[in-house]
Amino acid sequence: MGQVDGKIALITGAAMGIGAACAVRLAEEGATIILTDIDDKKGESTAALINSNGGRAEYLHQDVTQEDQWIALVNDIGARHGGLDILVNNAGIAVVCESITEMSLEDFHLQNSINLDGVFLGLKHCIPVMSGSGGGSIINLSSVAGLKAAPSLAAYAMTKGGVKLLSKSVAKECAVAGNGVRVNSVHPGIIDTAIWNKMGLGADVPGENRTETSEIAQQAVPGGKLGVPTDIANGVVFLASESSSYMTGSELVIDHGLSC
């Protein structure tokens, strides 16, 4: 018996990294997975991997910033699966800028649109279908950067702090409404995924990091330990499952002591 047997789970930005690990772990625990992303090739291969290991997954293209795509997706899930039990609002990017005074308004809006508009739209359109099928669990990916300052990542930190309080506020709305929907945020520390490479830290060429993720963890994390996507996915499984049924509006920090 899996921890989320028979549940329908939607995970955004799940072609790779933390989202892909959440898809794999939730599938291992018995959920049917709808994984979405803008990287169709990697998304298809993550779904194929889950299916080849005996899980149930399908990949669908979705840009989380587009409201029409959320509406079409949620209608499709409702029609084909009869409801939704788990939503992992995972898609996110990190725009690095040495100083806020050098950040373009375009980059600021880009940062905000994926990390905050995307989560807002997921909450707005998934809560009705979830409550209609008896409730569910929403897990929003924040960060340790949503708990403490992140110089050179000020706009990113703003979005992740926003995700934390958006989650708490909506959790209370749902609890008071008695619609059976729980909302929690997860705060990863330094996890070994491609997001760090996309940030281009210390690089002359965009998208080609000179700084290794392990080096960053070595300097910042107590004991120097670098996390792996499954470390976060295991926390997401817990929040998705009945084991966390009295948890809503909580922040689950998974950072090996980074934010202590």
Q: Which is nearer to ligand NAP, 13 or 249 (CB)?
A: 13
Distances (CA, A) of 213 to 63, 172, 192: 27, 36, 6
156 in active site: yes
Angle between helices 154-177 and 118-132 (to 10 degrees): 20
Q: Least distance from C-beta 225 to ligand NAP, angstroms?
A: 13
Strand arrangement of the beta sheet that strand 251-254 belongs to: 56-61, 32-37, 8-11, 86-89, 136-141, 181-188, 251-254
Residues 3-32, interacting with ligand NAP (CB under 6 A): 12-13, 15-19
Q: Least distance from C-beta 5 to ligand NAP, angstroms?
A: 25
Residues 69-88, interacting with ligand NAP (CB under 6 A): none
Strand partners, 254: 188
Question: Out of 2, 28, 30, 38, which residue is the one contacting ligand NAP (CB under 6 A)?
Answer: 38
Q: Tell whether residue 131 is a contact of ligand NAP (CB under 6 A).
A: no
Catalytic residue, chosen from 111, 156, 189, 235, is 156
Query: CB–CB of 17/190 below 8 Å?
Result: no
Q: Quick one: tokens of 91? A: 């898609």
Q: Least distance from C-beta 193 to ligand NAP, angstroms?
A: 3
Q: Which is nearer to ligand NAP, 20 or 131 (CB)?
A: 20
Q: Quick one: tokens of 220? A: 């910042």
Instruction: Kindly state the number of chain residues that form the binding site for ligand NAP, as judged by CB under 6 A.
Output: 29
Q: Which helix (H) or strand (E) holds 69?
A: helix 67-81
Q: Which is nearer to ligand NAP, 8 or 20 (CB)?
A: 20
Q: 183: burial class by Cβ within 10 Å (0-12, 13-18, 19+)?
A: buried
Query: CB–CB of 197/220 below 8 Å?
Result: no
Residues 92-111, interacting with ligand NAP (CB under 6 A): 92-94
Residues 168-227, interacting with ligand NAP (CB under 6 A): 188, 190-191, 193-195, 198
Q: Least distance from C-beta 177 to ligand NAP, angstroms?
A: 27
- Give catalytic residues, as residue numbers: 156
Q: Which residues bind ligand NAP (CB under 6 A)?
A: 12-13, 15-19, 37-39, 62-65, 90-94, 114, 141, 143, 188, 190-191, 193-195, 198
